[in-house]
A and B are shown apart, each in its own frame.
Chain A
Amino acid sequence: MTQPLKVLLIDDEIDFVETTGKRLIRRGYLAKTALTCAAGLEIITSGWPEVVVLDVMLPDRDGMDCLREIKEKWPTLPVIMLTGHASMETGLHGLECGASDYCLKPIDLETLVEKIAIAHRESRPRGA
Chain B
Amino acid sequence: MTFFVDRLTSFFHGKPRLTPAELQAAFRGHYKEFRALLTANNNALELMAEMEQALGPGHPFGMTFVRGNCTALSVNIYKMIQHLTRLADGRYAELDQPFRAITKQLEQVIASRSVSTEGTTILAMNEVDASTVDQVGEKMANLGEVRNRVGLRTPDGFVITASAARKFIEANDLQVEINRRLKGLDLDNLEALYTVSAGIQSLISTAPLPAELEEAILAHHRQLETGSETELLVALRSSALGEDSSNVSFAGQYRTQLNVSREFVGQAYKEIVAGKYKSQAIVYRQQRGFRHQDVQMCVGCLHMVDGAVSGVMYSRAPDDPRSPFVIIQAAPGLASTVVDGSAASEQFRVSRTAPHAILHRQAATAQSQSLTEAQAAELGAIGVRLEEHFGTPQDVEWSIDQAGLLYILQSRPLGRPASVEPQEPDEHSTTADSLPSPLLRGGVCASRGVGSGPVFTVRSSLDLLRFPKGAVLVIETPYPDWASLLNRAVAVVSETGQMAAHLATVAREFGIPAIFGMNQALATLKNGSLVTVDATAGKVYAGRVEPLLALAAPKPNLMAGSPVYKILTEALVHITPLNLTDPTSPFFRPEACQTLHDLTRFCHEKAVVEMFTFGERYGFNDKAAKQLVVENSPAQWWVIDLDDGFTPDFNPESRYVHLGHITSVPMQAIWQGMMAFPWGGPPPVSLGGLGSIIFQSTRNPSLDPAVRSAMAAKNYFLISKNFCNLSVRLGYHFALVEANLGEFLTENYVSFQFKGGAADQNRRLLRIRLISEILSEFGFRVEQKVDAMTARIEKKPGPYLLERLRVLGYLLIHTRQIDMVMADEGMAASYQQKIMADLHTLMDTPTEG
Contacts and interface: CB of A to CB of B under 8 A. Distances in A.
Contacts, number: 68
B289 A88 contact: no
Given A88-B74, A111-B746, A127 B103 contact: no
A122 B28 CA distance: 12
B796 interface: no
B294 A84 contact: yes
A110 to B, nearest CB: 8
Contacts of B35: 127
A97 to B, nearest CB: 12
Interface stretch (B65-73, B209-217, B818-826): B65-73
Interface string B47-88: 000000000000000001001101110110011001000000
Contacts of A16: 289
Contact of A15 (B68, B74, B103, B286): B286
B32 A114 contact: no
A109 interface: no
Most chain A CB within 10 A, of B28, B36, B75, B746, is at B75
Most chain A CB within 10 A, of B36, B64, B289, B743, is at B289
A118 B744 contact: yes
B658 interface: no
A91 B294 contact: no
A117 B39 CA distance: 13
A86 to B, nearest CB: 4
B67 A86 contact: yes
Contacts of B294: 84
Nearest to B66: A86
B75 A101 contact: yes
A84 B290 CA distance: 10
Contacts of A122: 32, 36
B745 interface: yes
A109 to B, nearest CB: 13
A86 B67 CA distance: 6
Contact of A92 (B103, B179, B745): B103
Contacts of B39: 118
B745 A127 contact: no
Contact of B68 (A86, A95, A101, A115): A86
A13 interface: yes
Interface string A63-95: 000000000000000000000101111011001
Interface in B6-37: 25, 28-29, 31-32, 35-36
B641 interface: no
A66 to B, nearest CB: 18
A95 B32 contact: no
B32 A126 contact: yes
Contact of B75 (A13, A19, A102): A102
Interface string A1-45: 000000000000101100100000000000000000000000000
A104 B68 contact: yes
A13 B31 CA distance: 38
**For chain A, what secondary structure do more than half of its interface residues adopt (helix, strand, loop), or is it mixed?**
helix
A65 to B, nearest CB: 19
A16 B29 CA distance: 36
Contacts of B110: 88
Interface string B686-707: 0000000000000000000000
A114 B743 CA distance: 9
Contact of A127 (B28, B64, B72, B79): B28
B281 to A, nearest CB: 16
Contact of B103 (A88, A104, A110, A117): A88
Interface string B82-123: 100000000000000000000100110010000000000000
A127 B32 contact: yes
A104 B71 contact: yes
A13 B291 contact: yes
B68 A92 contact: no
B747 interface: yes
B287 to A, nearest CB: 8
Contacts of A104: 68, 71-72
Interface in B110-145: 110
Interface in B260-291: 286, 289, 291
Interface string A92-128: 1001000001111000001100110110001000110
B64 A86 contact: yes
Contacts of B70: 86, 88
Contacts of A111: 746
Contacts of B32: 122, 126-127
Given A87-B71, A95-B82, A103-B72, 15 more contacts: A13-B289, A15-B289, A86-B64, A86-B70, A88-B71, A88-B74, A88-B107, A91-B72, A92-B103, A95-B75, A95-B79, A111-B746, A114-B744, A126-B25, A126-B28
6 contacts: A86-B68, A88-B106, A103-B72, A104-B71, A104-B72, A127-B31
